[in-house]
Amino acid sequence: MITVENKTFKKRILQQLFVCVFGIMGCVYGQQDAQYTQYMYNTVSVNPAYAGSRGHLSIAALYRNQWLGLDGAPETQTLNLHTPMGYRGVGVGVSVVNDKIGPTSETYFDVDFSYTIQTSLDAKLSFGLKGSAHMLDIRYSELDEFEIDPQLQSQQDIRNKFSPNVGAGIYYHTERFYAGVSAPRLLETTHFDEASISTATEQVNLYLITGYVWDLNPFLKFKPTLLTKAVKGAPVQVDLSANFMLNEKFIGGLAYRWDAAFSGLFGFRISDEFFIGVAYDREITDLGAATFNDGSFEVILRYDFIKNLGNLKSPRFF
């Protein structure tokens, strides 16, 4: 049962969320790009230099439902595939990301290109470029149910507003270590003209991702990872995770998003080719304490088209 106090808090959160979307004030949560807890299995979404690095065609689908129980909260679907092209160090990939917040929907259609050079016997350095087509939908007509400013409700709906973008990244990896720096969207695109009641500028998000794999014993591996995201006008976001792999099949661990959430992660390698992972976040902010917020849920499915299992030294952990 939702109390009057919770109803008031819920209404305030919704208003802040949608006001943030329309760019009338700074975003309370500092989130523009889609957010992932299982970023270590979805690197190509934030760094184009990762394309082709798995050594074979790889397809992944991810679904995230954030702040379960809060109407209009972020919901994300991601589908990507990438593959190396021959033996010349070239990798390519394509992806679709659909991010929905309340009456707004953003869809990115991305094409990734990478070029990899061998820097030592077991190390590679990749350079990547990303080209994006961005489609924006805003259904002002749906705002009445969220009790938002009537001036916004009177606006005409925006359908499939197109804007292009480009991104770049660098990715270094060995069999045990990886690190990458990227900016998936380099153009600060303004989605509304100056005469509109609201304007929203897409800021540049900078990412740093790194991780390492240790063999604790013949049956157990340990992999800590780090993702840092910086965007103008918002606090730096830091994600830390610690995963363990048992018998190269079962993966479990914990993650911490600085001053925002704790997460539990679980993965299972059904076969050498097929992996499934799930994550659950519990916010540690005032929003997390609300009775109508049941946390955030995420699931990822990945399939690798491995041509020759005999040449697979060990399953890729990143």
pLDDT digits (tens, 9 = 90+) for 292-307: 678 899 999 999 998 7
% of the chain surpassing 90 pLDDT: 56
Please tell me the pTM assigned to this model.
0.84
Which CATH code of 2.40.160.40, 3.20.20.80, 1.10.510.10, 1.10.287.3510 fits the domain covering 52-134+160-304? 2.40.160.40
Helix, strand, or coil here: 215?
A: strand
- Distance, in Å, from the CA atom of 182 to the CA atom of 293, rounded to the nearest integer, reads 32
β-strand pairing of 250-257 with 261-269:
antiparallel
Domain spans in the chain, listed from the N-terminal domain onward: 52-134+160-304
Q: For residue 278, give every residue at least 6 positions away whose Cβ sits within 8 Å of its Cβ, in sequence order, or none.
A: 265, 266, 267, 297, 298, 299, 300
Least Cα distance to 27 among 290, 187, 183, 237 occurs for 237
**pLDDT, the chain, mean:** 83
> How confident is the model at residue 161, as a pLDDT?
84
* The amino acid at 15: Q
pLDDT tens digit string along 132-149? 999 988 877 766 655 555
Identify which has the larger pLDDT, 109 or 293: 109
pLDDT tens column, 184-226: 999 877 655 544 555 556 778 999 999 999 999 999 999 999 9
Give counts: helices (H), strands (E), the chain. Answer: 3, 15
DSSP-based three-state secondary structure for 143: helix
